[in-house]
Homo-oligomer: A and B are copies of this chain.
């Protein structure tokens, strides 16, 4: 269980920084990318931030640890793992740039999940009490915080919905769609994604076994919805994200469809 070997620097920002006008939207950037840039900028200007670089496998925090800080992904990919008292273990979330981590610790006073880096990335860590103080001085921050928590709740419910209503193949397709879409929204290329998780991890996240994940990927590849460009199987090329979405939809109609 390696603990994060983190390079940490503290960025103190002026307490009552002047409120700058929102950054102009860069042409072609999605509203999500814009929102994320805006969030990071506002945090940087109004809250004391500790930056931390983590590498694949490093854990940002672990379940049971005392809660004191929230975290925002600045780059890289993270997963959160929920562990039941009896040892059951489940990947409950994937987190990309702009996503917050650690909300589950607020109520309990202790983190309820492990947060683990899937590759090299940087997180910004904010002390929760400092964040609240900053919110009191600069109200828009509170809006950002609440929206992030709200999105987290919405996202979790969408996961529940997919888990309950989709077949294994469709869940895998939906997983790829979600990942690609998240990349696209953040201005990254989404026609070719690198899965930073093993089949076992993906299966755990999607509520199926690693064999089923592998078979689903093979079927999707046979149907030309995805392709494996490299000899490695971690890179997935997605010629048409829309087609993946359509595939998920199609799998919902057991009735007389084409085919």
Contact = CB atoms under 8 A, between A and B. Distances in A.
Interface of A: 82, 84, 86-88, 90, 92-93, 103-108, 112-113, 132, 136, 139, 142, 146-154, 156-161, 163-165, 204, 207, 249, 252
Q: Which 7 residue pairs of A and B lie closest in terms of their CB atoms, listed nearest first?
A: A106-B150, A107-B150, A164-B207, A156-B156, A107-B147, A88-B165, A107-B151
Contacts of A84: 158, 161, 165
Main secondary structure of the interface of A (DSSP, over half): helix
How many identical chains are in the complex? 2
B160 A108 contact: no
Nearest to A148: B107
Contacts of A139: 132, 136
Given A161-B84, A165-B88, A153 B151 contact: no
Given A104-B153, A160-B160, 6 more contacts: A106-B146, A108-B150, A112-B157, A132-B139, A146-B149, A149-B150
Nearest to A163: B163
A150 B249 contact: no
A153 B113 CA distance: 11
5 contacts: A82-B158, A90-B160, A108-B154, A112-B154, A156-B156
